[in-house]
A and B are shown apart, each in its own frame.
Chain A
């Protein structure tokens, strides 16, 4: 689907934390910017708070890279402000996120083997 599909997914890894978190949020379904941001803040317990400039700068870049796209159909317009824009992850985006997750997982295994895993992480 994406015009970037000819590139292998691992070309873009490692992803920046902001990019990865945005992809993670959109992986669960279409979201608008503010929802993405709130979800990330909740998931990281407030440690990663994306300001509007950084958030939309990242979204802009992800759009350009073809990892996400703008969703044409909105949820029920009566439920939401029509000025909001909704985004969803592309197939390519999904592959890149998977590649990133695999990379991290490898890293986690290596860390566990080296340091052991604490019971309460």
Chain B
């Protein structure tokens, strides 16, 4: 009998797992029965036997009773919903948007920032960007000597990516290729599925004619045939022997489908990106310190920005990292607002149902039973909202893929991911607790304090007003954030880029591997194309360049100067054909544009950018002087142009010094024809493309786009961010308005009688409405004060996340408060319109 108290205590505890109704009815007899059984079981064996039977009994009957009561509650909830469809639809929609947007954005954050990269020990991999730092790379030997002596990297690989023409296979076309130092695969810890990776010294001249094909390309071109090893593939005309096949899904860097052993050619490799593995035992801060010291030592003053060493995952995510975090923060706010709103709606409904709940409790429903009913309602609400939200999330993810494609195939955005689904479930359960807790507490109070029909007490009104104030606060934060991000975007789009985007057609060609590649045929090919294009109707001028603005990657030139005096920073050298600056709509500040004669004669002349000229006394001063590299004269300056934005980031300065010179052998890997046309550029795309193709159908023609389309694609991400934040802010405002309208119109209904008396005593309806308006605006003011403070705080956070976003000033916050106050006043006035039509006699007669 010594065990009795403990056994009984344990059994009582287990009984709590039964649903409320069942427990209320049968816990006492069941406990009594347990005592009887216990009294009959003597000895440890009998006791063990009893417990085994009891546990089996509990395991069968608890789920059974739970499912019975829950299904009752669900049916009850569905009946309630059907009786108030608008109310319910609003709550579900608010939560669905909240949960859906969160899940969608989280799937992006998950893919970019949380999911592991498909490399060995990826957290030890570092990325260095070519625009900031390139290790010594004069020759393969120089690079490999440097990396072997590194004190903080155990391995370092170089890669450079570009598009090439593929030939010598069934299906010739363009492909994205990465040339890499031989140790690229071993640095990442990736093994080819077939054949081998590159071997030591295979990145030296004479041994570098080998390639590894991607799994997809292997399937596409060789139908997965194992005889691919040893086969030859032509890349821009050069034959390469295939030695291996990369594993499925491996497409680093930049979606590459083909890797070739690198060709080191002195200082010409300006596009080398670096991927490195930290030495075992070296922590990130240590490695960074060592790297900064070495970068300063290797190239003092060479770099405009201090080189950064980032974890590879952050390097891949790039600007998407901060953008995604900003979006995540704003969708969390949206979810909070949605929860507040739904809590408010449920509070109102619970207050309305006070009578029903009181009656049920009088009929014997326990407080636990009523709380269980309310909890089921909340969980069901968030469950339905989560289902609808998953559809929204899928849609959000689809948009995100378009505007912010994942950098690697292994980082595809998916909501069918354990972590994402867990997040959605957690978000919906947490939010149901968040919006369900107040109504449940409130229901508890009804039961405790009596059965009065009206649920409208001073306390509940205060709670609801606090909820609305909280909503106003969150809305102001989101609203000012949207203004801040929106302004940053407008600034980005309104930047003067030094060229005219409208009415410009752009088309890429690549001569690599074609019969036009021979040096003496390149210029005639381009001239023939231009002659045909210029003859087309509606074409005002046409030219070509090797580097189009917005695509700065890898075109930074070396250190140059004027008449032997070095410039403060390196310059971009941009080979162009005649009339390029005019066609782009560039503004000449002095001198003239490049002409056909300049191109034909092979004249060593150039037009430089204003920024470059400014270092040497301005446009008028530099005409006729020589651009020099060391003591060597490169070009005579014949003109100064405003300069074009080659970087997309308006704050970048590395592209400001530009040299446009006549291209004598055009046709590199990014040759672009630019054509200025009358009317809409979109309408001329096909015509220009066909004219170019007609010159030589063998030359791949691609990238047939208007310049405006290129700009839009470049800024798709910031545009998406600002549109999304604006959408969320508008949604938050809408929810706040609904919240305010709801609370005021509810107050009107509840206080009709009181108002009738006031009117009988001489108060005018307008005055009554003014009283309610004042009360409502007080609620708004109560939310506005912390809202403005929050907006100023979150502004700083935003500044650190979004390039160009500036913290909002007090004027903007005040403006957003005014907007909300105005909208709130309108909705309060609308909600109180009933008062104007009140008939005193009718109201008083009902007493």
A70 to chain B, nearest CB (A): 10
- Of the stretches A5-13, A53-61, A94-102, the one at the interface is A53-61
A54 to B29, CA, bound (A): 13
Tell me if B30 counts as interface (CB < 8 A to partner A): yes
A22 to chain B, nearest CB (A): 14
A75 to chain B, nearest CB (A): 16
- Of the stretches B53-61, B596-604, B789-797, the one at the interface is B53-61
- Of the stretches B32-40, B242-250, B276-284, B482-490, the one at the interface is B32-40
B60: nearest chain-A partner, CB-CB: A54
* A51 and B54 contact, CB distance less than 8 A: yes
Contacts of B62 in A (CB 8 A): 53
Question: Which residues of chain A from 9 to 52 have a CB within 8 Å of any chain B CB?
Answer: 32-34, 37, 49, 51-52
Tell me if A81 counts as interface (CB < 8 A to partner B): yes
Contacts of A81 in B (CB 8 A): 32
Q: Which of these, A32, A52, A59, A85, contacts B57 with CB under 8 Å?
A: A52
Contacts of B32 in A (CB 8 A): 34, 81, 83-84
B22: nearest chain-A partner, CB-CB: A60
A54 to B60, CA, bound (A): 7
* A54 and B57 contact, CB distance less than 8 A: yes
Question: Which residues of chain B from 313 to 355 have a CB within 8 Å of any chain A CB?
Answer: none
* B26 and A56 contact, CB distance less than 8 A: yes
Tell me if B28 counts as interface (CB < 8 A to partner A): yes
Contacts of A57 in B (CB 8 A): 22, 61, 64-65
A109 to chain B, nearest CB (A): 34
A121 to B565, CA, bound (A): 119
A60 to B23, CA, bound (A): 11
Tell me if B714 counts as interface (CB < 8 A to partner A): no
* B33 and A33 contact, CB distance less than 8 A: yes
Question: Which residues of chain B from 12 to 69 have a CB within 8 Å of any chain A CB?
Answer: 18, 22, 25-26, 28-30, 32-34, 36, 53-54, 56-58, 60-62, 64-65
Contacts of A84 in B (CB 8 A): 29, 32
A65 to chain B, nearest CB (A): 13
Contacts of A52 in B (CB 8 A): 29-30, 33-34, 54, 57
A70: nearest chain-B partner, CB-CB: B25
- Of A53, A81, A84, the most chain B CB neighbours within 10 A belong to A53
* B29 and A60 contact, CB distance less than 8 A: no
A87 to B525, CA, bound (A): 103
A54 to chain B, nearest CB (A): 5
A11 to B18, CA, bound (A): 30
Q: Which of these, B29, B53, B64, B65, contacts A33 with CB under 8 Å?
A: B29
A48 to chain B, nearest CB (A): 12
* A51 and B61 contact, CB distance less than 8 A: yes
A61 to B58, CA, bound (A): 17
Contacts of B58 in A (CB 8 A): 51, 53
Q: Which of these, A49, A53, A83, A85, contacts B61 with CB under 8 Å?
A: A53
Contacts of B61 in A (CB 8 A): 51, 53-54, 56-57
* A56 and B57 contact, CB distance less than 8 A: no
Contacts of B29 in A (CB 8 A): 32-34, 52, 56, 83-85
Q: Could you mark each residue 146-187 of chain B with 1 if its beta carbon is under 8 Å from any beta carbon of chain A, else 0?
A: 000000000000000000000000000000000000000000
Contacts of A83 in B (CB 8 A): 28-29, 32
* Chain B interface size, under 10 / 10 to 19 / 20 to 34 / 35 or more: 20 to 34
Contacts of A59 in B (CB 8 A): 26
* B65 and A51 contact, CB distance less than 8 A: no
B52 to chain A, nearest CB (A): 10
B475 to chain A, nearest CB (A): 49
B58: nearest chain-A partner, CB-CB: A53
A54 to B26, CA, bound (A): 11
Contacts of A55 in B (CB 8 A): 33
* A51 and B36 contact, CB distance less than 8 A: no
Contacts of A85 in B (CB 8 A): 29
A56: nearest chain-B partner, CB-CB: B26
A83 to chain B, nearest CB (A): 5
B65: nearest chain-A partner, CB-CB: A57
Contacts of A60 in B (CB 8 A): 22, 25-26, 65
A56 to B18, CA, bound (A): 12
A113 to chain B, nearest CB (A): 37
Contacts of A49 in B (CB 8 A): 53
A51: nearest chain-B partner, CB-CB: B57
Given contacts A34-B36, A51-B61, contact A56 B53 (CB under 8 A): no
A46 to chain B, nearest CB (A): 11
A34 to B34, CA, bound (A): 9
Q: Could you mark each residue 58-85 of chain A with 1 if its beta carbon is under 8 Å from any beta carbon of chain B, else 0?
A: 0110000000000000000000010111
B30: nearest chain-A partner, CB-CB: A52
A37: nearest chain-B partner, CB-CB: B33
B33 to chain A, nearest CB (A): 5
A112 to B61, CA, bound (A): 36
A21 to chain B, nearest CB (A): 16
A12 to chain B, nearest CB (A): 17
A119 to chain B, nearest CB (A): 35
A56 to B65, CA, bound (A): 10
A85 to B33, CA, bound (A): 11
- Of A37, A60, A81, the most chain B CB neighbours within 10 A belong to A60
A59 to B419, CA, bound (A): 44
A88 to B69, CA, bound (A): 24
Contacts of B34 in A (CB 8 A): 52
A3 to chain B, nearest CB (A): 17
A34 to B29, CA, bound (A): 8
A51 to B53, CA, bound (A): 7
B62: nearest chain-A partner, CB-CB: A53
A39 to chain B, nearest CB (A): 13
A60 to B29, CA, bound (A): 12
* B25 and A51 contact, CB distance less than 8 A: no
A81 to B29, CA, bound (A): 10
Contacts of A33 in B (CB 8 A): 29-30, 33
Given contacts A33-B33, A37-B33, contact A53 B28 (CB under 8 A): no
A53 to B280, CA, bound (A): 60
- Of A49, A56, A81, the most chain B CB neighbours within 10 A belong to A56
A59: nearest chain-B partner, CB-CB: B26
Contacts of B25 in A (CB 8 A): 56, 60
A44 to B666, CA, bound (A): 99
In the assembled complex, 12 residue pairs joining A and B whose CB atoms fall closer than 8 Å, in A order, are A51-B54, A51-B58, A51-B61, A52-B57, A53-B58, A53-B65, A54-B60, A57-B22, A60-B25, A60-B26, A60-B65, A83-B28
Given contacts A37-B33, A53-B57, 10 further A-B pairs with CB under 8 A are: A33-B33, A51-B57, A52-B34, A52-B54, A52-B57, A53-B60, A54-B60, A57-B64, A60-B26, A84-B29
Interface positions of A (Cβ within 8 A of B): 32-34, 37, 49, 51-57, 59-60, 81, 83-85
Q: Which 6 residue pairs spanning A and B have beta carbons closest together?
A: A51-B57, A53-B61, A56-B26, A52-B30, A53-B57, A34-B33
